[in-house]
Chain A
Amino acid sequence: MKITDVICPFCGCLCDDLTVTIENNRVTGVDNGCALAEAKFMHTGRLNNPIIKDGDRFRETGYDDAIGAAADILKDSERPLLFGWSGTQGEAQCSGVHLCELLGGVIDNTSSICHGPSILAIQEVGHPGCTLGQVKNRADLIIYWGCNPVEGHPRHMSRYTNYADGFFLENAFRERKLIVADVRKTESANLADEFIQIKPGGDYAVFSALRAIIRGKGDILPDYVAGVAKSQLERVAKMCLEAKFGAIFFGLGLTMTKNKYKNIRNAIELTDLLCRHTKFTITPMRGHWNVYGSNEVMTWLTGYPYGVDFSRGIAFYNPGETTAIDILAKKECDAMFVVASDPAAHMPKKCAEHMAEIPVIQIDPHINCTTLLSDVQLPVAVTGIETPGTAYRMDGIPLRTKKVIETVYPNDTEIIDKIYKKVLEVQKK
């Protein structure tokens, strides 16, 4: 059986044109998907039953027992941290916020370690963005800054930018120009008409230099800015000004490096400046498939996109204080509830060491690094493959992911709701 128009639950592109072949309730083929999509759909390994830490080993248990153990840990916790959320459905994210409010804990999603700084910049100066459909059909200049879509978002170029057809472009492949800015010459940089190689930590200075040139103040610039020749910057500024519709996409090369959110603020202000001459937009390359959704859900339920602290009885937000890395590194939290992410694999060692010292509950279909630091893990259905759910694409478009195979496993929402009820039950006692 072939199922068409399947949405890929891997990266923020949420490609919605996959055809998945199913035989005996197993995915045996994926058409149109990239290598990442294929790995996601074809992977069959999983945790089969809930597990509980017993001494220095794990033992298998039933769902009721594991839910009870999770509720006990959470009710005894004074400052629980609920983290993850980017790899699950919006419905589960809603349940997570309600659970956190009940517990008076802190809820943070993985954007605090990916595009959190982008959100901080957007809160300062706004977001001149657009949908990917607008870029595909209209943009004649694409800029990838601090990102490598060939490796990180393998179909971004073929679906939305340089290798996609455009309704308002006669020959999109030839008409669209590509600029890549990065500290190393990546595979994406090899495809560019213009590659700007910037010294590490120099992005802020290069944005400022481009703004100066566009404002007609290029005379004040030195011959090189962060390793980039002034003549190249003048060429790039000219390309931007001559474009009818320019689209900037940026990645973690801006958020994780020196200057962090100030880099993005400067990039947005460059976009704003270019909009006084032509049409320009800017979009973060969101990584996990529903990390944008976690920002949406938390914002509409709490007023804040990530790092939300309910310990005061109301929602409080202060990145750098209420964000997961800071809370773990300062050993503030006394329990951790992880859903649909793997913080042990992606956080600095000091955070993982604190996870090993406190009780950790994980809701995830797979054995991962966080499993090794967990006290309880409950396996769930894989959202977008075994259970449907709402997800937000990197441009903020909500899409409904499909269920393509049957499963015996409950989904994230069902498990979190049961834990919520159990916590309520034990709290009343």
Chain B
Amino acid sequence: MIFHMITGRTVKQGEGVEKKLSADYKKETSACRMNPLDMMDLGLNEGNHIKIISDYGEVVMTAVEDKTLTAGMIFIAYGPYCNVITSHDTHGTGMPDYKSTPVRIEETDEDLKTVEELFRGMGGTSL
């Protein structure tokens, strides 16, 4: 099943913008909010780890129930986790597809990476 990923701001993400290596920021930006019926279809419970896969990469996140989302739509707060799977194509406008990247989701027993681990995987430096 293909999901429509939208990313956006949340108050907790906003509170964490100057504390991006903190556990709170990781928790907020690595939460994948989903419609409860979609979670049921995929056999997921709140807090299960999921692998989200797009044409641009894959990342492990936590499934979180959100009844405001319609079936087939997921919401992730802006941050380094959703960027791993976001399309960089701007279609000649300068703006990538932050609210329209298609993704697949499967359950996983892999652990979530920390923000530092994510960037180490891209060639970043440890503090």
Contacts and interface: CB of A to CB of B under 8 A. Distances in A.
Nearest to B124: A372
A362 interface: no
A58 interface: yes
Interface in A364-386: 366-369, 371-374
Given A348-B86, A357-B123, A342 B17 contact: yes
A378 B11 CA distance: 28
Contacts of B75: 184
A112 interface: yes
Given A183-B6, A345-B20, A369-B119, A320 B99 contact: no
Given A39-B18, A348-B88, A371-B127, A257 B99 contact: yes
Contacts of B21: 367-368
- With most chain A CB atoms within 10 A of its CB, the pick from B73, B75, B99 is B99
Given A256-B98, A325-B94, A372-B124, A342 B15 contact: no
A347 interface: yes
Interface in B47-83: 56-57, 68-70, 73, 75, 78-80, 83
Contacts of B115: 369, 372
A345 B75 CA distance: 17
B4 A200 contact: yes
A185 to B, nearest CB: 5
A257 B9 contact: no
B1 interface: no
B10 interface: yes
- Tell me if B's interface is mostly helix, strand, loop or mixed: loop
A324 B90 CA distance: 10
A368 B92 CA distance: 29
Contacts of B86: 348-349
B68 A186 contact: yes
Q: What band does the interface of chain B fall in when counting residues whose beta carbon is under 8 Å from A?
A: 35 or more
Nearest to A116: B94
B73 A113 contact: no
B101 to A, nearest CB: 9
A208 to B, nearest CB: 19
A389 interface: no
Contacts of A185: 68
A320 B91 contact: yes
Interface in A322-369: 323-326, 329, 342, 344-353, 356-357, 366-369
Contact of B56 (A117, A120, A257, A348): A348
Given A151-B10, A326-B90, A349-B56, A373 B125 contact: yes
B9 A151 contact: yes
B98 A184 contact: no
Contacts of A374: 125
A347 B56 CA distance: 13
A57 B126 contact: yes
Nearest to A186: B68
The 5 A-B pairs at the shortest CB distance, nearest first, are namely A323-B94, A356-B123, A320-B92, A348-B88, A372-B124
Given A349-B83, A374-B125, 16 more contacts: A10-B14, A43-B18, A53-B125, A113-B98, A116-B94, A117-B93, A151-B8, A183-B6, A200-B73, A256-B97, A319-B93, A324-B94, A329-B88, A345-B83, A348-B56, A372-B124
7 contacts: A53-B125, A58-B125, A201-B100, A256-B97, A319-B94, A372-B119, A373-B125
